[in-house]
Amino acid sequence: MVGPQAADDFGHSEQDHHESHAPKGSLLALCVGTVGVVFGDIGTSPIYAFRETFAGHHPITPDPMHINGVLSLVFWSMMIVVTFKYVFTIMKADNKGEGGSLALLALINRQTAGAKWTAPFVMLGVFATALFYGDSMITPAMSILSAAEGLKYVNQGFSDWILPISVVIIGALFAFQSRGTAKVGAWFGPIMLVYFATLSGLGIMHLTKMPLIILDVINPLNAFYFFYVDGFRAFVAMGTVVLAVTGAEALYADMGHFGRRPIKFSWLFFVLPALMLNYMGQGAMILSMTPEEAQMAIRDPFFLMVPDILSTPVIILTILAAIIASQAVISGAFSLTQQAIQLGFIPRLSILHTSEKAAGQIYIPAINWGLAVMVLLLVLFFQSSSNLAAAYGIAVTGAMFIDTCLIAVVLVSLWKWPKWKAIPILALFFIVDFAYFGANLLKVPSGGWVPLVIGLVIFTLLTTWSRGRALMRERMAESTMPMEIFIKSAANSATRVPGTAIFMASAASGVPSALLHNIKHNRILHERVIILTVQIEDVPFVETGDRIICKDLGEGFYRVKMRFGFLEETNVPATLDLVDLCGPKFDMMHTSFFLSRQTLIASKIPGMAIWREKIFAWMLRNAANAMEFFKLPSNRVVELGSQVEI
């Protein structure tokens, strides 16, 4: 029950006096954790990105000009998109230490005080969230399927078993989520350290045969020459080259877990060199072959660069890396969902905490099994990583483009950068993002439509819920009664009984409908009546001293506001233990919680289309109940229903 963030019965607006919750630990330990969680997605891209550019749906001849051009594109994409855009620019726009599209959106919304011009950017941020869910479905399918395909190089007999093995791995991965990742998570960092070291070693092994390729790769003229010679084909190739930077947005989204410095250090001094060494090694291997051999080897250069004696352990390591990359995306989907629930874009869902120590380790059954079904359907529908590559990339490039739009608002409106400084940087970001997004749009007929459809459906659900809640609050506010009038009329006429009654209220003013129904039907009032509003702030955490605001309304009535950050658990009973401003301490055995449960009736009242009202009504019926969401004791809760037309 999220209250409005404006001046209310407490007589003031909220101010931002919150300090960020910086990750704790040594830089080295945080860097190891970063490698294990943040870089899994981008780390598995060498398995398929180089291959798909040459042997995918739009094949390119693997000759020196094309290989140098593609590798130069890969290198400068990593430098511009990942290093310059995300690491050195966007990651500075944190919301009290937190990153990601929703955190950035909350930052903009808070700093601009809800200005009208921000509405389109809110929609963009919501659409980026919707695209992330599409990416959360495609990434596990692509990573695990491409890694499992390496098993055929251990034994050709595995070829017919790649799909079943992938399905089993995916099923086990999602089934394991309810147990949490605290125990196995400690292994993520070391495994990924070995994996990236292996990428480097394999690349160096082949680079020794052709070391001068390094100079060709870092020379941007080779990328431009590729466009000069091939033009449209080079543009089409960008649709697969971008696979090399998928996962770049994870650097920003996971910033709250590790901090900016560990991510920056890990990327610049370990991950980026490892990735580029491997890509250049693949290119050097192909260039050292005859044209006929190169044409065959380009179909799977990553696995063919592995010596036969190391084939089995490297492929097992690759599968483990793919599982870790998938785990990071799934955990990201849980975290994003929690933020979206708190910010009012998704209905309340059951959220289970899988660790007593790490507050960020959560499990959301509805999201977990929804993702599991979609990932399995994608694997069974596309059957191979090459087919799936056609659907991969468009969600990522769309989210990257939206991030650029949002950072443009930050640079110009929040940070007040001068135009001479902001325009060249933003122009570079927009040109690169437009090029990559445009190239991926060409993949729509052959599978790119999948993430777009998923994103559109989720965007419709998110905006329908947000708009429906706003309309429902408006309708309920029309019939509300001022609290002062209610207290004067009811305090002396109703029978007072011992104990405390807490009435949950979505609005920070007026009389809750549950209180009106209680006095109407039961004709009693408790000795102490608390009108409680839970408000979710546009910051990740709220300090304990700022958590509770209490106002004495007289006659035993109190209005209490609880404030939580969008990454915090809304545990009402635990927070009430902190309250000593509203009479005696709360005793749960003598406290009753009264909840309002609204039944929605779709109507022709202007607001939303009937079909969207019906979707909203369905979402409302299937939302987790407030008792579970606010961690209320089940034997102390009373629900009173009412009907609302929107």
Same domain, 492 and 458: no
**Average pLDDT over all residues of the chain:** 84
117 has a pLDDT exceeding 60? yes
In contact, 602 and 610? CB cutoff 8 Å: yes
> Mean pLDDT over residues 601-616, rounded?
78
| pLDDT in the model for residue 25 | 65
Residue 403: phi and psi, rounded to 5, are -60, -40
pTM: 0.82
What percentage of the chain carries pLDDT values higher than 70?
91
Together in a domain, 437 and 331: yes
Q: Is 446 in the same domain as 530?
A: no
Q: Please indicate, yes or no, whether residues 462 and 495 belong to a single structural domain of this protein.
A: no
The pLDDT tens digits of the residues spanning 258-297 come to 788 888 999 999 999 999 999 999 999 999 988 888 888 8
> In this structure, are 503 and 533 located in the same domain?
yes
Domain assignment present for 44: yes
Within-domain flag for 409: yes
**Per-residue pLDDT averaged across 326-353, rounded?**
84
- Taking each helix axis from N to C end, the angle separating 119-148 and 311-342, rounded to the nearest 10 degrees, works out to 160
19 domain residue, yes or no: no
Name the percent of the chain lying above pLDDT 90: 27
Q: For the domain that residue 449 is a member of, what is the CATH number?
A: 1.20.1740.10
Q: Which domain holds residue 588?
A: 482-645
- The answer as to whether 246 is a domain residue is yes
Same domain, 453 and 598: no
Let me know whether 224 and 318 are in one domain: yes
> What average pLDDT does this structure show over 428-434?
93
* Of the candidate ranges 15-24, 519-528, 529-538, the one whose mean pLDDT is the lowest: 15-24
389 in a structural domain: yes
User: Looking at the domain assignment, is residue 624 inside a domain?
Assistant: yes
Residues 525 and 76: their CA atoms lie apart, in Å, by 69
CB 38 within 8 A of CB 193: no
How far is 75 from 279, CA to CA, in rounded Å? 9
Contact status, residue 6 vs residue 13, Cβ threshold 8 Å: yes
Domain count for the chain: 2
Q: How far apart are CA 418 and CA 395, in angstroms?
A: 32
153 pLDDT exceeds 80? yes
| Assigned domain for 7 exists | no
pLDDT of 592 above 70: yes
Residues 570, 627: one domain? yes
My answer on whether 209 and 75 are in the same domain is yes
Determine the pLDDT at residue 301. Answer: 92
- pLDDT tens for each residue of 296-312: 889 889 999 999 889 89
Same domain, 507 and 452: no
SS3 547: coil
**496 and 371 together in one domain:** no
Q: What is the pLDDT of residue 646?
A: 65
418 and 548 belong to one structural domain: no
Residue 20 lies in a domain: no
Tokens encoding 594: 């009264």
Q: Across residues 305-322, what is the average pLDDT?
A: 92
- Residues 131-146, mean pLDDT to the nearest whole number: 89
Residue 17 pLDDT > 50: no
